[in-house]
Amino acid sequence: MKKAGILALCGLLATMLISFVGTADARPQYKKENEAKYKGSSIEDALKEAKCNACHYGTGKDNKKNRNDYGKALIKLGLTKENYDAKKGDKEAFEKQIVETLEKVLKEKSQDGETFGDRIKAGKLPGTNPEE
């Protein structure tokens, strides 16, 4: 009986630990639309290699919190978690918002003073990391 109680307690603890683990909040649609927009351009390969680091910087699990200037500009223009949650059920509206935001962000300035559009035309990734 004692073994059964210990086993039940271990099971309860394991269940509690699993419930506290956060879920990944990846938004692969952003990456997909960004790559589609620049397919065939001079930054296509760089975007594929950079993956999420086109908008983020760093490595590890904290990377999603670290946005470069391009990622911050996208958030400022409306690609927020709240808008994601509100529109993810309507795929067409969500994709339209992403595409429109990717177009608007081209006029915004990066931390080095160039617009993101100018950086892309020059074959550079749009974002610059704080340590650059």
Overall average pLDDT of the 101-114 stretch:
95
**pLDDT attached to residue 19:** 46
Identify the bridge partners of residue 115 per DSSP, sorted by sequence position: 109
Give the up-direction half-sphere exposure of residue 14: CA atoms within 13 A in the CB hemisphere.
6
Q: How far apart are CA 112 and CA 132, in angstroms?
A: 9
Number of H helices, E strands in the chain: 7, 0
Q: What is the pLDDT at residue 17? A: 46
Average pLDDT for the chain: 83
> Domain map of the chain by residue range?
44-132
Query: How many percent of the chain have pLDDT more than 90?
Result: 50
- Report the pLDDT value the prediction gives residue 121, as an integer from 0 to 100: 94
- Return the closest-CA partner of residue 120 out of 130, 105, 131, 132: 105
More confident residue, 71 or 9: 71
Tell whether the model's pLDDT for residue 131 goes beyond 90.
no
Asked whether residue 14 carries a pLDDT value surpassing 70, the answer given is no
Q: What's the pLDDT tens digit per position in 57-97?
A: 887 776 778 999 999 999 999 999 898 888 888 989 899 99
